[in-house]
Amino acid sequence: MRNDLARPRVGSFVQRTTVLTALVCCLAVSLLAVGLLVGASTGVAGVGAGDVFAQQEEIDPDDVLITADVNADGDAVWTIEYRVRLSTSDEEQAFEEFRTDLEANPEAYTDRFRGRMETTVNESAIATGREMGVSNVSVTAERREIPQEYGVVTYRFHWSGFATVEDGRIAAGDAVDGMFLDEESSLIVSWPDSYELDTASPAPAETRDGSVVWVGPVDFAGGEPRISAVPDSALNSLPGWLPVLAVVGLLVVLGGVLAYSRRDRAGSESTTPESAAAASDDSAEGESGGDDPDDDPDDADGDEEGNVPPVDAELLSNEEQVLRLIEREGGRMKQKRVAEELDWTAAKTSQVVTGLRDEGDLDGFRLGRENVLSLPDHGEGGDTVDDDGNGEDDEAGRE
């Protein structure tokens, strides 16, 4: 059976300034009526959230926002915000005086609040058969623009055992069964980020990402409000050791791939042009059925001009790729074309070519505005360029 309190409305905040401190100090006296209530099954009367101010007959809050932030273990952090619009300078001054008193002696406000909340939570524990408790009670007062200027008094506390958790599913609401919201009040119930909403009853006014909202007036029937949330991915429902095993397996696979890659790279760097060419020739001979390439021009290694076929770049070092390419082109090739054929940058090509020339494995000369590379036994056809690409070229001059 409900015992809804009538709430007188007073027009001026200033007229109530002298008792503002006593009013907020007694917010907790009526907080049993905020909706943190057990329903008719427990015999506790329920009243609207705004009625928290009725016993003082001094002020009506413009808005009351009740939030239950449910954790994965079933505990919840409850927050109750009482918002009063500050429309005049006198109202602002009155609120500042109250805030000063609150900050000077917060225990005077939290002690009575805690006592009332412990009464409410104990009634809920009896109704649900679960162990519950109240802790971390606090109160603050601040001015906030939402968007108009408001004075906001906020009570916060930790409610252990508020919800049930079974097989990963969070079920909340039975601890406040049959509560109701008046026209100034709203209730928000939220759940952890790793969960998603399964059901909500009755249908909320708004469903957000991670929470639902009921906006008063709402008279919850027996068995309401209710929400259930479940893990939003299959990974959360796996045994605790399974994700660890998956990570270990991934590391083992990556280690094997890395070891194979290093071994393959070491083998590539140890391959000489002669051995790579021999391997290529052996492969070509095997594919042709063991016949001598000279006996069948169609299957011969190389084209009609005797050029050497390309070899897989992964089997050759950078230097070997350059030498192989120039050999395939008849022993002489423009440096710019080498870069294009190997899909290298000009800087990388120049670095590799310079190393080959320093070792005597490659010669170079200028032809017009371009560098021409040649194998030592092929002949230069002009003066060899120095490391900076300078030098004269008789053949270029003749052009």
The pLDDT, as a whole number, for residue 164 is 96
CA pair distance 253, 359, nearest whole angstrom: 40
pTM of the model: 0.50
Is the predicted pLDDT of residue 8 greater than 70, yes or no? no
The pLDDT, as a whole number, for residue 377 is 78
Please compute, for residue 281, the number of CA atoms within 13 A of its CA located in the half-sphere on the CB side.
Answer: 10
What band does 235 get if pLDDT is binned at 50, 70 and 90?
very low
CA pair distance 356, 353, nearest whole angstrom: 5
- Ranges 104-118, 120-134, 195-209, 294-308: which has the least confidence: 294-308
Distance set, CA 224 to CA 47, 123, 168, 200 (Å): 15, 17, 21, 9
What band does 172 get if pLDDT is binned at 50, 70 and 90?
very high
- Give mean pLDDT, residues 239-255: 68
pLDDT digits (tens, 9 = 90+) for 206-232: 999 999 999 999 999 889 999 999 998
pLDDT digits (tens, 9 = 90+) for 327-365: 888 888 999 999 999 889 988 998 999 989 888 888 888
Locus of tokens 């906020």: 154
CA pair distance 16, 19, nearest whole angstrom: 6
The pLDDT, as a whole number, for residue 310 is 56
Buried b (16+ CB within 10 A) or exposed e, 244-261: eeeeeeeeeeeeeeeeee
Chain-wide mean pLDDT for the chain? 73
Is the predicted pLDDT of residue 326 greater than 80, yes or no? yes
Alpha carbon dihedral 181, 183, 186, 187, in 10-degree steps, equals 10
The pLDDT, as a whole number, for residue 146 is 79
The pLDDT, as a whole number, for residue 4 is 34
Tokens of 309: 């076929």
- Ranges 35-49, 158-172, 321-335: which has the least confidence: 35-49
Q: Per-domain residue ranges for the chain? A: 14-233, 317-399
- Ranges 86-90, 111-115, 116-120, 294-298: which has the least confidence: 294-298
Hey, is 5 helix, strand or coil? coil
Locus of tokens 């601040």: 142
Is the predicted pLDDT of residue 5 greater than 60, yes or no? no
- Ranges 6-15, 94-103, 210-219: which has the least confidence: 6-15
Q: Which CATH architecture has domain 317-399?
A: Orthogonal Bundle (1.10)
Contact, 9 vs 60, CB < 8 A? yes
Q: Where are the alpha helices (DSSP H) in 105-240?
A: 107-128
Contact, 277 vs 290, CB < 8 A? no
Is the predicted pLDDT of residue 67 greater than 50, yes or no? yes
Is the predicted pLDDT of residue 385 greater than 90, yes or no? no
What band does 265 get if pLDDT is binned at 50, 70 and 90?
low
- Ranges 49-53, 67-71, 137-141: which has the least confidence: 49-53
Is the predicted pLDDT of residue 30 greater than 60, yes or no? no
Contact, 159 vs 34, CB < 8 A? no
Distance set, CA 49 to CA 72, 219, 304 (Å): 27, 12, 96
The pLDDT, as a whole number, for residue 143 is 92
Cis peptide before 273 (omega within 30 of 0): no
Closest to 28 measured CA to CA, from 109, 103, 100, 132: 109
- Give mean pLDDT, residues 224-248: 72
Is the predicted pLDDT of residue 380 greater than 70, yes or no? no
Q: Is beta strand 195-201 parallel, antiparallel or unpaired with respect to 185-190?
A: unpaired
Share of the chain above pLDDT 90, in %: 37
The pLDDT, as a whole number, for residue 364 is 84
The pLDDT, as a whole number, for residue 236 is 52
Tokens of 57: 């007959």
pLDDT digits (tens, 9 = 90+) for 281-307: 554 444 444 444 444 444 444 454 555
CA pair distance 284, 314, nearest whole angstrom: 18
CA pair distance 215, 184, nearest whole angstrom: 8
CA pair distance 359, 371, nearest whole angstrom: 18
Please compute, for residue 311, the number of CA atoms within 13 A of its CA located in the half-sphere on the CB side.
Answer: 30
